[in-house]
Amino acid sequence: MFFLAHMFPSFNNIMLHTPLSLLVIFETETTHLKHNLLMDFIRMASFLLLIFCVKGLGKYITWDDIKIHYEDNDHDYKKITERLSFQNGDDGNQSRVIVVDQSGHADSRTIQAAVDMVPVNNSIRVKIYILPGVYREKVMVPASKPYISFIGDPNHASETVLSWHDKASDRYKDGSELGTYRTASVTVESDYFCASDITIENTVVAVPGGYKMQAVALRITGNKAVFYRVRILGTQDTLLDETGSHYFYQCYIQGSVDFIFGNARSLYKECSLHSVADKYGAIAAHHRNSEGEDTGFSFVNCSVTGSGLAIFLGRAWGNYSRAVYSYCDIDNIIDPSGWSDWNQPWRQRTAVFGEYECRGKGADRKKRVSWSKSFGFEEAVHFLDTDFIGGKDWLRL
């Protein structure tokens, strides 16, 4: 009982509010029978409560889910590998660690093989610790394998690279084209996925106007995911943020045309958004198609930079496309008009494109399209923190 009360503070409240009517029933029995019934009740209540509480484990993503525990200043990867199997995190939850090392001194040489080791319908956090190297492979995390983390060394994020090179015009063996969605170097379909301190890239360099040059680096369709200090690199259609609620924190995202696109509900906080467009381009292409969809891209305290020509902050891929920039530092890389209706003028009436308290040469709204919005605080507040993605229900960061 002490264990339950210590691990789950709500336990005491539940027990204190057990209906008093149960005790009344016990009072009508003999002393011996009352004692037996009471003990049976306590045992059953404790068992059911334990099941209830254990099911709650993993409901929240914590900082512990995106880091590896090892001795301070110990950078002997072989020793770390030998030491990692099961860990008890700072949050009290147990996790399993699978180590990936191309040299063959760990559990797996490839990331996909490590994912394959995770049981179907997994119910505990599995941390796949990826040692530095360029992993040239196409990776799939299926929906049947939740609670997986990809974790790199915090000091070597740019040297821990998941890389592939498919583009939309590439073909299967049967001759059919891949199409955009199946080009992803890394696809995540599972819920409660995390990634930290790694690089995910698609090495295709899209040629402006070229035939089906879309080349996705990361595709995420699972719900409740966190990406922390992850570098996502590509050109056209770099990040397919397709569906679900996601939190991108201090990430670096590079591309040219619509390089963040999809219909997810995602918060990008303190991220670097870097354009490499050399003809035309856009950062966000959101695909919300009805007013009832609670989706959108919110960029908060991000930096917007570029090395090419002027681009749009966003394009209305869907009729009710929604993207908002708040407190962002926007360099002189944005087309003065700011936003595009995707050559579908009727979308000007329904798309929600907003800016709030942004700064920098690219934040000047004097020549913005008239149908974009300069938000006040009352309009912007919904987009400013993790409440936008329902974070109270699944984040403890």
Q: Active-site residues: which are they?
A: 258
- What Cα–Cα distance (Å) separates residue 208 from each residue in 254, 285, 339, 340, 342? 16, 17, 19, 18, 17
